[in-house]
Structure 1
Amino acid sequence: MPRSERSSLLLAGLLATAGVAHFATPRPFEATVPRALPGSPRTWTYASGIAELVLAAGVALPRTRRVAGLATAAFFVGVFPANVKFAVDQRRRPAPRKAAAFGRLPLQLPLVLWARSVAKSAEGRS
């Protein structure tokens, strides 16, 4: 299996796992939903879970990989405020929880770059 195919399937697996987790254990995700968003946190949690599952399918399929990769990069940028909110909410927690929450923030950039790389690797195959 070519490296770009492996990378695409790994990203699809990550997205699918996260998407399923939004439905299996929604409460931790609800805590990250910014209060400024209208509606209930559960609705946003389920909506983002659906989005991740759709993106996972799109990234897994070669025909839709380029567009899905770009959409995934945009999704990762779009959920960054939720990660910031979560980190800010954890600032008075014990050091390990706080470190984990703030440590997630710089991981968003490699995720965005990974999704863009998947999209770029699919450009010649569309």
Structure 2
Amino acid sequence: MSRPVEKSTVALIALFTGSGVLHFVRPGPFVSIVPRSLPHKEQLVAVSGVAELVCAGLLAAPRTRVVGGLASAGLLAGVFPANVSMALRSGRRPAAVRAIAWVRLPLQVPLILVALRAGRGGGSAG
């Protein structure tokens, strides 16, 4: 009998699933935050959307949760430059958008810690 999944892991699965789907349904906002120096922005957004959906699936399955936690932490670290780019380019946006862009940056740390905890087997209560 498998142990129940921690709420933080469920939240990360939901975050990756929702965001991964949005990469395909509404790619525009994601394309706009890809650092200017990177080519093939649309393809990068599609790849990151697939990566988020794969991470969600890996985290959801008990047998692959360790790999899913490590992959999720890596993905969160990997997309950090796009979040920095978004914050740096938010200067003329409405105040709420600027605030969200900057607040997202330190929030990556607890998300990475949740992913790592799930990957160490801490994603299951018991």
Instruction: Specify the alignment match of 2:20 in structure 1.
Output: 19
Q: What's the counterpart of residue 91 of structure 1?
A: 91
| Distance in structure 1 (CA, Å) of the matches to 2:94 and 2:39 | 30
RMSD: 2.1
AA at the equivalent of 2:70: L
TM score, norm. by length of structure 2? 0.88
Count residues with an aligned counterpart. Answer: 123
Which has the higher relative contact order, 1 or 2, with Cα contacts under 8 A spaced 6 or more apart?
2
Distance change in 2, residues 1:60/1:92 (3 Å): same
Bigger mean CA deviation after superposition, 3-12 or 104-113:
3-12
TM-score (norm 1): 0.88
- Please list every run of at least 4 consecutive aligned residues from structure 1 whose deviation after the TM superposition is greater than 6 angstroms: none
Structure 1, 41-50 or 3-12: larger mean CA deviation: 3-12
| Structure 2 portions without partners, runs of 5+ | none
The answer on whether the counterparts of 2:14 and 2:56 sit within 8 Å (CA) in structure 1 is yes
Which whole-Å deviations, capped at 9, do the CAs of 1:68-122 have from their partners, x for residues lacking one? 1011001100100000000011023232221111111111101100100111126
Contact 2:117 2:123 in 1 (8 A): no
Q: 1:57 corresponds to which residue?
A: 57
**Percentage of pairs with the same residue:** 46
On the 8 A contact 1:22/1:45 being kept in 2, the answer is yes
**How many angstroms does 1:34 deviate by?**
1.0
CA distance in structure 2 between the aligned counterparts of 1:19 and 1:29, rounded to whole angstroms: 11
Output the CA distance in 1 between the equivalents of 2:11 and 2:99: 26
CA distance in 2, matches of 1:8, 1:96: 28
* Aligned-partner SS, 2:37: coil
Change in Cα spacing, 1:104 to 1:7, as seen in structure 2 (3 Å) is closer
Q: Structure 1: how far apart are the matches of 2:44 and 2:79?
A: 11
2:34 corresponds in structure 1 to 33
1:114 aligns with 2:79: no
Work out the CA distance in 1 between the residues paired with 2:14 and 2:93. Answer: 31
Are the counterparts in 2 of residues 32 and 82 from structure 1 also a CA contact under 8 Å? yes
Q: Is the 8 A contact 1:62 1:122 kept in 2?
A: no
- Aligned-pair CA distance for 1:2: 5.3
